[in-house]
Amino acid sequence: MKITLGFKFTYKDWLKLIVIPLLLCILVVFLINLTPKYETTATIYPIVESVGNLDRSALRKMERSARRLIWSMNQQKQKKRITTTHEKLAQLQSVQLTKQFIIKYDLKKLLFEDKWDSENLRWRDTNNKGEPSLAKAVKSLNQRFKINYDKNNNVITIKFTWKSPVIAAQIVNDYINFADNYIADELERIKLDELNRLQRLNNEIRYVSIQQDLIAQYESMLTSMNSESGPSARQFKVLSLAYIAEEPIFKLSPFLIVLVLLLSVFLVFLFIVVSKKPNKKLENTASNII
């Protein structure tokens, strides 16, 4: 089955079909990059319990049961290390942490500066909406953040984009410091809850053997908390702080460009078809008169 248009495309028609969509795509790219934006990057890695390599030659000299036990313990440590890393990464990207970060540094005014009246120190009542919600602020901030984890090198890269390079670097560095303290406080809170639970169980249970076991667990956890407090309790080590970018980034949205290209080609084609139809009718009328 053949579909015929009933007319032929001229050189000008083909020119329109190619040039107009390309010009529209260039215009879109220009508008996207009209306001210069700067991207800054920081690199950190999560501090977790190190697991040494097993001495295989020493293992061979041991009994089979001892060899299996040491191998199993090493595997458990490896799994715990991976789990702890993933937990810290999840906390670093958590909505709750981002919410607390926005609240502490009062970032709503920065994220929605067009809605904030700096002279009267109040939110503009745009469409009766007033102050933007915290959920919107989290979404806006997360759109500018990119957090990637390189499992091979155990390194986390944090990128942030903003129109001011100084503010971009400051936000990333503040975020790392805040996240470090926030996660450390959360871990301490969990351990305190566990200590309270053990103490409560110890008061409720009257069996001496069980009490001794609970006391041993309590003292072990308390010693662990005391040894981990202070500067050594940091959750991340900063490999490189966020720098002040000197050059703005060039943004290119492939999806948007393809969408504009396809839509513009379709509309130009439709315009050409519609503009050809009256001419065809006139030609038919003229031939009938003759």
Q: Give the pLDDT mean for 263-286.
A: 69
Q: Is the pLDDT of residue 259 over 80?
A: yes
Measured between alpha carbons, how far apart are the two ends of the chain, in Å?
34
pLDDT at 286 over 50: no
Whether 70 has a pLDDT exceeding 60, the answer reads no
**Which one has a higher pLDDT value, 241 or 209?**
241
Q: What domains does the chain contain, in order, with CATH numbers?
A: 1-33+257-290 (no CATH), 34-249 (3.30.1890)
**What is the rounded distance in angstroms from the CA atom of residue 158 to the CA atom of residue 175?**
10
What pLDDT, on the 0 to 100 scale, is given for residue 24? 83
What is the model's pLDDT at position 79?
47
Residue 60 has pLDDT above 70, yes or no: no
pLDDT at 265 over 70: yes
Mean pLDDT of the chain: 74
Mean pLDDT of 24-52: 76
- Alpha-carbon gap, residue 124 to 146, rounded angstroms: 30
User: And the tokens for 210?
Assistant: 């069980």
Q: Please give the average per-residue pLDDT across 40-61, as a whole number.
A: 64
pLDDT tens track for 95-115: 999 999 999 999 999 999 888
Q: Which residues contact 253 (CB under 8 A, 6 or more apart)?
A: 32
19 compared with 101, residue with greater pLDDT:
101
Q: Can you tell me the mean pLDDT for 146-156?
A: 89
Q: Which amino acid is at 151?
A: K
pLDDT at 117 over 50: yes
pLDDT at 91: 87
Q: Is pLDDT above 50 for 196?
A: yes
Q: How far is CA 19 from the centre of its chain?
A: 38
Query: What's the Cα-to-Cα distance from 257 to each of 23, 35, 61, 161, rounded to whole Å?
Result: 11, 18, 66, 21
Least confident of 66-70, 93-97, 173-177: 66-70
Q: Which residues contact 187 (CB under 8 A, 6 or more apart)?
A: 235
Instruction: Give the residue with greater pLDDT, 40 vs 87.
Output: 40
β 236-240/38-46 pair status:
antiparallel
The position carrying tokens 């609970």 is 214
pLDDT value of position 255:
78
Counting other chains too, the contacts that 161-168 makes at CB distance below 8 Å and 24 or more residues apart are: 161/37, 161/38, 161/39, 161/249, 162/37, 162/38, 163/35, 163/36, 163/37, 163/38, 164/38, 165/38, 165/40, 165/244, 165/245, 165/246, 166/244, 167/110, 168/38, 168/39, 168/40, 168/242, 168/244, 168/245
**What pLDDT was estimated at residue 54?**
45
pLDDT digits (tens, 9 = 90+) for 204-219: 555 444 545 545 555 5
Asked whether the predicted pLDDT for residue 171 surpasses 80, the reply is yes
Question: E-assigned strands of the chain?
Answer: 38-46, 116-117, 122-123, 145-150, 155-162, 236-240
